[in-house]
Structure 1
Amino acid sequence: MRHLFTAAALAFALASQSEAEVLIGVAGPMSGKLAWTGTQLRRGAEMAVANINAAGGVLGQQVRLIVADDFCDPRQALAAAEKLVADGAVFVIGHYCSGASIPASKIYAAAGVLQISPSSTNPMLTEQGHANVFRVCSRDDAQGHKAGNYLADHWGDSKIAILHDNTTYGKGLADETKKQLNMRGVTEAVYQSYTPGKDDYSVEVAALQTAHIAVLYLGGYHTEAALMVRAARDRAYPVQLISGDDTATEAFGLIAGPAAEGTLFTFVADPRRNAEAAEVVERFRAENFEPDSWTLHSYGAAEIWAQAVTKANSLDLQAVIAALREDQFDTVLGRIDFDKKGDLTVQSWVWYVWKSGEYVPVE
């Protein structure tokens, strides 16, 4: 009996401790080919939670982070979302991939859980009309518009190929780019899909070379982009590779090696350059972690949620949504405010180039 009483008392104490915590989640590809970017989301969220707790938590309660792996896969994203909801998360930072965020958003909407994606750029995420869904990155309709104009301005007289991986993100971005390119009166020589996840793309690259393609616009992820540009350079084929925001990761340079040099891509303004982010960036680097790509967007999503809860003086979803729609937030990303869809009021994309092993803004 003494043993049973002790176990019951321990269970009660653990339950009481859990009630004193606010649970939030971070969801993304924590394993698989995009694990590098999943790590960025996790590290950004972990640092933010540590700083929030050091400042007293939210509403006098400490915050605990739950990590969910969705493998950048729609079905696994549903399972990850259901697990986070079942575990009691009131807010989720995620997902990374649009193809994961969009199906998961339906789970969060039904459960009354706030979702802020650091990185899902497909317009459909917020066009669905879920009031609980926000994002701290710009959209692919704006990104494709910028890319299409750039292609028309610089390579309008050249043979252009547009390839995509048939994912929500990759095909969506390729289609937005194609739409604007065609609006400018330029028709691509090749538009087709490729199979993601292969170890070698020399056959696809050889076909582009045979077709005398001068510029390849790739709608897809950095792993395949890196392998394609490597295959091209191995053939002494100087095709210009241009891609989207997923190319903004150190992993692209590591996979592509010297072949990364000269690759162009669009990405949001690098938050590491923000004065507001200097202290946080310094802390990451002191831990031998470079907060590139979407790390600070994950951190910023957590910052915004904590500020919104404080402004609302409540964890109630509707109160927090109202605060998100009505207020502005000072973050490592700069000052953030949202429109009625949950998108940033200012859509901004910047051109970058891989140069000497890192990506820098195009001058």
Structure 2
Amino acid sequence: MRRDGAVAALWLVAGALLCAGPARADVVVGVAVPRTGPIAGIGEQVLLGVQAAARDVNARGGIAGEPIVLDVQDDACDPGQAVAAAERFVKAGVRLIVGHVCSSASLAASDVYAAAGAVMISPASNAARLTDRGLPTIFRVSGREDDQGRLSATILAERFRDKKIAILSDDTPLSRNLADSTKANLNKIGQNEALFAAIAPGQTDDAALIKRLQAAGIDVVYYGGHYQEMGRLVRKAAEQGYRPQWFGTSGIATKEFGVLAGPASDGVLMTFNPDLRRKPEAAAAVKAFQAEGVDPDGFTLYGYAALQALAEAGNFAKSTDPKAIAETLHAERFNLVLGNVGFDQKGDVTAPGYVLYVWRDGAFGYAN
């Protein structure tokens, strides 16, 4: 089955759950992801994972004996829309949420959830401030930006010590924070970048930027933003005969980057969370996805893990109460597709952080 067919099949499952209505279940789980806007591709990955996890959890009896009903909201990776979605959930009495994806959206919405005592578990947001505030009901199954920045700086220093490095960011929190963290850690190691610059997504003159990089003799371009901007830059630079070593982040962990960059994506480096498809604990979930014609790449299994964690905590506590689930998430360890993990007092998952990947033939895999 092609991916679009698989998506339709999973939506039939989700639709059946939604049509059943909350009256048939005590457990409504809100799902807040970007279904429109600049990173809808990553939102699709997360949603597929959540839908599959809901199906599997319900097959085993749901949470504390009650089946899950999904309430899906689109936040478009926008803080204002994220707050609106959070307020809709809270008004409807939804107190268990998987989301959001973008750090800016998660930061804005998390205040609403925390005030209402709702549990939010993000599958993808890596802003350190999300959990550093110590909000007791806010969690994530993905890594932190400061960990990603440290790894990026180490790789740059070890592999490209004698090269001219440019560090680029855009005006999103993800990009700014990753670029700042990478720069700070690189400088701490004793290596300075040749160029540190911010660009405006969708408004930057690509030709002028590429010319600037070329004129500065840049050998390595680190970009802390999302796949649309970087994919376009990589492709256009190659078309102009400029092929530096490109280095991206978790913001390009979707096959759409390979489509946008085309053959020029070959050799692009990227830091991202560990590939859960390789985890033995994820084997059953991966097999089920593959039977539907879906490759659960990128953030798909992180969406699965987020809902799985809520269900495991609820079943351990024998409760659907958000306070009990939050306390259990902080206190216990769980067998998830991530492995056997827990959550620290900040709400960060105890799973390993980030890994170096390389793009080949429109897909990404572990780098040597």
**Fold shared by both chains (TM-score > 0.5):** yes
Cα displacement (A) at 1:15: 11
Question: Helix, strand or coil for the counterpart of 1:204?
Answer: helix
Separation (CA, whole Å) in 1 of partners of 2:341 and 2:251: 22
1:96-111 aligned within 5 A: 96-111=101-116
Separation (CA, whole Å) in 1 of partners of 2:367 and 2:20: 54
The answer to whether structure 1 residue 284 and structure 2 residue 289 are counterparts is yes
Contact 1:22 1:90 in 2 (8 A): no
2:345 aligned residue: 340
Q: Deviations over 1:227-268 (max 9, x none)?
A: 111111111112111011122211111111101000001111
Question: Helix, strand or coil for the counterpart of 2:290?
Answer: helix
Q: Name the stretch that deviates more: 26-35 or 284-293.
A: 284-293
1:262 aligned residue: 267
Pick aligned residue for 2:210 from 193, 205, 212: 205
Amino acid at match of 2:265: A
Cα displacement (A) at 1:356: 2.1
Q: Deviations over 1:263-282 (max 9, x none)?
A: 00111110011112122112
Separation (CA, whole Å) in 2 of partners of 1:123 and 1:296: 21
1:180 aligned residue: 185
- CA-atom RMSD in angstroms: 1.7
Separation (CA, whole Å) in 2 of partners of 1:199 and 1:141: 27
Amino acid at match of 2:150: H
Amino acid at match of 1:180: N
Contact 2:267 2:360 in 1 (8 A): yes
Distance 1:344 1:285, change over 3 A: same
1:212-231 aligned within 5 A: 212-231=217-236
Separation (CA, whole Å) in 2 of partners of 1:47 and 1:86: 26
Separation (CA, whole Å) in 2 of partners of 1:16 and 1:195: 43
The answer to whether structure 1 residue 317 and structure 2 residue 297 are counterparts is no
Distance 1:77 1:140, change over 3 A: same
The answer to whether structure 1 residue 160 and structure 2 residue 165 are counterparts is yes
Pick aligned residue for 1:44 from 35, 46, 49: 49
Cα displacement (A) at 1:16: 9.6
1:18-33 aligned within 5 A: 18=23, 20-33=25-38
Cα displacement (A) at 1:199: 8.7
Amino acid at match of 1:285: Q
Contact 2:134 2:345 in 1 (8 A): no
Separation (CA, whole Å) in 2 of partners of 1:80 and 1:183: 40
1:253 aligned residue: 258
1:88 aligned residue: 93
| Number of residue pairs the alignment of both structures matches | 350
Distance 1:38 1:182, change over 3 A: same
1:5 aligned residue: none
Question: Helix, strand or coil for the counterpart of 1:33?
Answer: coil
Separation (CA, whole Å) in 2 of partners of 1:332 and 1:62: 20
Q: Name the stretch that deviates more: 150-159 or 40-49.
A: 150-159
TM-score after normalising by structure 2 = 0.91
1:35 aligned residue: 40
State the structure with more CA Rg.
1
Separation (CA, whole Å) in 1 of partners of 2:100 and 2:84: 12
Cα displacement (A) at 1:43: 0.9
Separation (CA, whole Å) in 2 of partners of 1:38 and 1:15: 24
Separation (CA, whole Å) in 2 of partners of 1:321 and 1:32: 31
Cα displacement (A) at 1:187: 1.4
Cα displacement (A) at 1:331: 1.0
Amino acid at match of 2:353: S
1:196 aligned residue: 201
Q: Name the stretch that deviates more: 85-94 or 321-330.
A: 85-94
Pick aligned residue for 2:67 from 62, 69, 92: 62
Cα displacement (A) at 1:161: 0.7
Amino acid at match of 2:233: M
Structure 1 portions without partners, runs of 5+: 1-13
Separation (CA, whole Å) in 2 of partners of 1:163 and 1:16: 46
Structure 2 portions without partners, runs of 5+: 1-18
Distance 1:270 1:192, change over 3 A: same
Separation (CA, whole Å) in 2 of partners of 1:35 and 1:169: 16
Distance 1:16 1:282, change over 3 A: closer
Separation (CA, whole Å) in 1 of partners of 2:232 and 2:46: 24
1:124 aligned residue: 129
Structure with greater contact order relative to length (CA < 8 Å, sep ≥ 6)? 2
Contact 2:313 2:325 in 1 (8 A): yes
Distance 1:209 1:276, change over 3 A: same
